């Protein structure tokens, strides 16, 4: 596992790779809004063996996200999912007791990702819409 957001952006270039982005934090959490993780195995169903690039918290959250993305269709629209406090997923809690809003994107815009990675490689500011 590679532990940088830039690694997640690079990994998300590949087809079948989804991108997870923290868009909201309720309470304390070890990462910031905008932190990202990429996982392969989109559309392969629960139990798929997915590789992960980037890190959002601990292995439990990353496995949950990989499983959730694996159950999404490869061309599905991005979905906002709540994890931890206030989540409808009652059997998954975060160790800090807080809540996270994470955007699950099973098919991120590969061209936009390429532009962002190119800008970051050139040490220029970059953002994804």
* Model pLDDT for residues 54-111, shown as the tens digit of each residue: 888 777 888 888 888 888 887 789 999 999 888 888 777 777 788 899 999 999 999 9
Q: List the domain boundaries for the chain.
A: 5-121
* Separation CA 6–CA 54 (nearest Å): 8
Q: What is the mean pLDDT of the chain?
A: 83
Cβ neighbors of 85 (< 8 A, separation 6 or more) are 26, 27, 93, 94, 97, 98, 99
Q: How confident is the model at residue 43 (pLDDT cuts 50, 70, 90)?
A: low
pLDDT score, position 6? 83
Percent of the chain predicted with pLDDT > 90: 27
The arrangement of strands across the sheet holding 52-54 comes to: 52-54, 36-40, 17-26, 99-105, 79-84
Q: With contact defined as beta carbons under 8 Å apart, do 98 and 26 qualify? A: yes
CA-CA distance, 104 to 67, in Å (whole number)?
A: 11
CB–CB of 46/71 below 8 Å?
Answer: yes
Q: Please state whether the predicted TM-score (pTM) of the whole model is above 0.75.
A: yes
Are 38 and 9 in contact by the 8 Å Cβ rule? The answer is yes
């Amino acid at each position: 596992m590679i532990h940088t957001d830039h690694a997640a952006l690079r990994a998300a270039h590949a087809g079948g790779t989804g991108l997870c982005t923290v868009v909201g934090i309720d309470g304390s959490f070890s990462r910031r809004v905008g932190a990202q993780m990429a996982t392969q195995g989109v559309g392969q169903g629960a139990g798929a063996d997915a590789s992960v690039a980037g890190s959002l918290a601990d292995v439990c959250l990353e496995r949950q996200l990989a499983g959730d993305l694996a159950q999404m269709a490869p061309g599905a629209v991005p979905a906002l999912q709540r994890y931890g406090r206030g989540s409808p997923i009652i059997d998954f809690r975060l160790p800090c007791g807080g809540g996270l809003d994470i955007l699950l994107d099973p098919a991120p815009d590969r061209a936009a990702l390429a532009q962002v990675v190119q800008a970051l490689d050139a040490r220029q500011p970059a953002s994804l819409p």
